[in-house]
A and B are shown apart, each in its own frame.
Chain A
Amino acid sequence: MTQFIQIIIGGIQQGSIYALLALGFSLVYRVTGVINLAQGAFCTLGALTAYSLETSVGLPPLLAALGAILATTALAAVAGRALFVPGLARLTNSNMLMMTAGLLTLFEGLVLVIWGSQPYAMPPFSGEKPWRVAGLLLPTQGVWVFGVTLAIIVALGWMLARTRLGQSLRACSENPTAARLMGVDVPRMQLFAFALAGAIGAAAGVVVAPAIALQFDTGRLLTISGFIAVAIGGIASFPGAIAGGLLLGLVGQLATAYVSSLFSNALALGLLLIVLVWRPSGLIRAKLARRSDVRDEARVWMHVSRLPSAMAWRGGGLLICLGLAAPFLLGQALLGALIITLILFIALIGQDVLMGYGGQISLGQAGFMAIGGYTAAYLATEHAWAPIAGVVAGMGLSVACAIVLAAVTLRLRGLYMALATLAFGLLIDSCAIGFDDITGGPSGMVGIPDFSVAGFAFATPMRMYFLVLALVVLIFVAVAGAMRSGFGRALQAIRTDPLAAAALGVNVVGCKMAAFALSATLASLAGSLYAFQFHFLSPDMVGTPRSLELVSMLVIGGEGTLIGPLLGAAVLTILPTVFQPLAIYKTLASGALLAGCSLYLPQGMFGLIVRLLPGQKRPIAA
């Protein structure tokens, strides 16, 4: 019994942090209609700033904490002013999601540049010795976490319910147009909400830091946990966010205690998937508040740039010539980077079919890479299957998973679809770590043989390169053809308006399933090739960070065009190889690129190239 209560206490401590994160998500979402993926990064920034202020500047702990919260809030305000709020007026919701993913990466890069990649351990505020109350051990930091959470919840609740500022914030969340008519400065309220979410995140980071090991990518994990918490609880209500956080914390701790720590994540994600399918708007519904302007619809329509066909043929020919000549011109390192670019391009074509053409945000593409990679590698190493048979088996398994995922998530759109795919990716992540008999666990799988077909081994980079190049050309031509057929048009119709598409006789369910399956097949193939290329596969090579990177490549390159992703993949893969000494800035740069591209080049680099070409008319702004 004592043990059970002890676990509950741990769960409440964990849950308090999730609740704070969820509160930040909910605040920004309610005022702007956007999920701010950078929320977790505010925690890391706050905690590390406090650490530096205390150790390097020598401030007393309380002052350091306050200073850190102020500094993080200021940074959030700058990012909000420069990127987030201007984006709200110009971008679709999915591009806003990408922009916040860019902000997350940008902040991560900032942490990497300032504090490096090593983990930091911070001392608890009131010593290591836990309090002993009625035979129970209360960790002092847990009391701090709980107290600060409670204080923030009460303060925020009071501010929203009782003050004029809070009233204006709520008015913006209820109905931005009417709020403007009342004389409320809506962009300023949006900025305020964003900065306040930064402050809450920083406060959460400062108090939780002693309870966890902190490093540059902790923000990403916190973002994901908070995102899950808020999705479980219901994003449109603050009590929902708090309840979701606590529930997630308790489930996590109980699962760790009674099942296995490796599967506590998987259980939480299972919970999320069930909630998403059973009650997509979360366990606790908002009081009433059907948003009067349905924010899931695009505020802005995406314009897809296309090359005139004569130029496209010439460009394609040039690219193929370049592709054939490249291995003879490039050094070993660059050739390696080029192979990776092409492999990722295969996965990206799949992502593009789903996201650029079908309009379904997918944040779990790397999950299918993992399925393909691990299946092929496991069968080839442990059961001596021919690599090609392993690849095919991986594709089969991926398609099966994709169809199940698609069937389960059919009703979901936009944000919830993004969440479900994210949960799927994370589930695969935790399986890759958990099933260590098959996957080798966190340390990865070694000794994967060369890819070979009928005894011919693709053992040298040169051979591997031409294999991948041939596959890319084949897939590119096939998918380009498919996108010009009825299937491609049906997908684009579904992206624009599923209801109208269905009314025209498009088989919406069938098309979505097919797009999912095609996308998963390509990702799976890419994952297998990836494993054979490196002769090694570990969870962080094909985990959720990779999914986010794929999405970045797609947005930077230009979604909805087939060649755009190649540009994105090339930029994010080859540039870091060329600028190896500047590797520490890679994350910072890719974050800045993603955030900047989503704001200034919503059609990506490809759109920019098309616009800069002579004889192109500028598209009329809608």
Chain B
Amino acid sequence: MSLELRGISSGYGASMVLHDISLAVAPGEIVTLIGANGAGKSSLAKTISGLLPAIGGTIVWDGERIDRLSTAERLRRGIAHVPEGRQVFAGMTVAENLAMGATIRRGGRAASGVMDEIHALFPILAPRMGDIAGNFSGGQQQMLAIARGLMSSPRLLILDEPSLGLAPLLIAEIFQLIATLRQRGISVLLAEQNARAALSIADRGAVIENGRLVMQGAAHALLHAPGIAERYLGVGVASAVDPAASGRMAERLRACVWNDG
């Protein structure tokens, strides 16, 4: 079950957002897309799930071209997309939200065992099945959105900014969860601004800048690549090369503050 993008271009109306993107996700692999706000991560996610039509290039899934198929058809073939900003059905209950996730399954029911698995992965959801999803906190809604994405038993889960607007503790929890998905044989394509956290759980990473793929490689290699560290990990050039640099910077800052006061 591998996904292969070959020279994908896409955009909204006359304005092109993605240019000639080629990327592959192997079975059971976590690949992370990193890039600044507006670089095209979400557009790429939408293009793969079919919310946004590809203008050029092909998408091959499991040996079959899927770039002309509808979202529902792609979902049937095992590609689920958990969109940016969670997008739960706010006025519906947790149970109904989960049921919507299984819309494309025959009879609208999740495959047997999926529900148990979801309860095991997301213990917070079980006691709240009858609650209205809109009353949940951001982190709970994100859990629900991921759970909903898993209801159709996908083999590739596209996660768009799952850490958006969440507290650090919750972010850690979500990333841990993503790592466990791999053990269940689900491939993950993770679009993230929080590059450090994403790269730390991913097998491979790809960097998008202005709609073009500028670099891809093993996650640990990207984590230490100087250009990446400076631009996406919030570390200056000096500190990326020399681990003691940030300590010296902190020392200087402290001196400034205390001398002033």
Chain A interfacial positions (CB closer than 8 Å to B): 164, 167-168, 170-171, 174-175, 177-185, 286-290, 292, 620-622
Contacts and interface: CB of A to CB of B under 8 A. Distances in A.
Interface in B71-99: 71-72, 75-76, 80-81, 83, 87-92, 96, 99
B72 A286 contact: no
B43 to A, nearest CB: 14
A91 to B, nearest CB: 15
Interface in B7-25: 13-14
Given A178-B83, A292-B90, 8 more contacts: A171-B92, A175-B88, A177-B87, A181-B75, A182-B100, A183-B104, A287-B91, A289-B134
Contacts of B80: 181
B135 interface: yes
A621 B13 contact: yes
Contact of B100 (A179, A288, A292, A621): A179
B71 A175 contact: no
A180 B51 contact: yes
A178 B51 CA distance: 10
5 contacts: A177-B51, A178-B87, A179-B100, A183-B103, A289-B90
A544 B91 CA distance: 37
Given A184-B103, A621-B13, A174 B71 contact: no
Contacts of B14: 620-622
Nearest to A173: B91
Contacts of B134: 288-290
B152 interface: yes
B89 A168 contact: no
B118 interface: no
B104 A288 contact: no
B81 A288 contact: no
Interface string B108-146: 100000000000000000000000101100000000000
Contacts of A167: 92, 96, 99-100
A621 B13 CA distance: 6
Closest 6 CB pairs of A and B: A183-B72, A183-B104, A289-B91, A178-B87, A174-B89, A183-B75
A442 to B, nearest CB: 46
Contact of B13 (A178, A180, A622): A622
A182 B83 contact: no
B40 interface: no
Contacts of B90: 174-175, 288-290, 292
Nearest to B70: A185
B174 to A, nearest CB: 19
Nearest to A178: B87
Instruction: Pick from A171, A178, A292, A620 the residue with the most CB of B within 10 Å.
Output: A178
A180 B89 contact: no
A9 B111 CA distance: 52
Given A288-B90, A292-B90, A183 B83 contact: no
B101 interface: yes
A175 B135 CA distance: 16
A620 B96 CA distance: 42
B58 to A, nearest CB: 22
B187 interface: no
Contacts of B47: none
B144 to A, nearest CB: 11
A171 B98 CA distance: 11
A182 B103 contact: yes
B70 to A, nearest CB: 8
Instruction: Pick from B72, B103, B104 the residue with the most CB of A within 10 Å.
Output: B103
A46 B13 CA distance: 41
Contacts of A168: 100, 103
B108 A164 contact: yes
B13 A181 contact: no
Contacts of B99: 164, 167
A292 B99 CA distance: 20
A178 B103 CA distance: 12
Interface in B37-91: 49, 51, 70-72, 75-76, 80-81, 83, 87-91
Contacts of A290: 90, 134
Nearest to A185: B72
Given A182-B104, A184-B103, A170 B92 contact: yes
Contacts of B92: 167, 170-171, 174
Nearest to B91: A289
Nearest to A174: B89
Contacts of B135: 288
Contacts of A286: 91
B97 to A, nearest CB: 9
A132 to B, nearest CB: 45
A171 B89 contact: yes
Contacts of A620: 13-14
Instruction: Pick from B76, B87, B100, B132 the residue with the most CB of A within 10 Å.
Output: B100
Contact of A175 (B75, B81, B87, B96): B87
B71 A181 contact: yes
A354 to B, nearest CB: 29
A177 B72 contact: no
A179 B103 CA distance: 9
A27 to B, nearest CB: 15
A202 B71 CA distance: 35
A518 B108 CA distance: 57
Given A288-B135, A622-B14, A181 B49 contact: yes
Contacts of A183: 71-72, 75-76, 103-104, 152
A181 B76 contact: no
Contacts of B152: 183
Instruction: Pick from B71, B75, B80, B104 the residue with the most CB of A within 10 Å.
Output: B71
B46 to A, nearest CB: 9
Instruction: Pick from A179, A290, A292, A622 the residue with the most CB of B within 10 Å.
Output: A292
B13 A287 contact: no
A409 B90 CA distance: 30
Nearest to B104: A183
A171 B90 CA distance: 9
B109 to A, nearest CB: 10
Instruction: Pick from B92, B101, B108, B132 the residue with the most CB of A within 10 Å.
Output: B92
Contacts of A182: 75, 100-101, 103-104, 148
Nearest to B89: A174
Given A170-B89, A174-B89, A181 B108 contact: no
A178 B83 CA distance: 8
B191 to A, nearest CB: 15
A178 B88 contact: yes
A292 B87 CA distance: 8
B132 A288 contact: yes
A179 B88 CA distance: 9
A190 to B, nearest CB: 15
B107 to A, nearest CB: 9
B71 A178 contact: no
Nearest to B86: A178
A207 to B, nearest CB: 31
A170 B81 CA distance: 20
B83 A288 contact: no
Contacts of B89: 170-171, 174-175, 178-179
Contacts of A181: 49, 51, 71, 75, 80-81, 83, 87
Contacts of A184: 72, 100, 103
A97 B80 CA distance: 35
B88 A180 contact: no
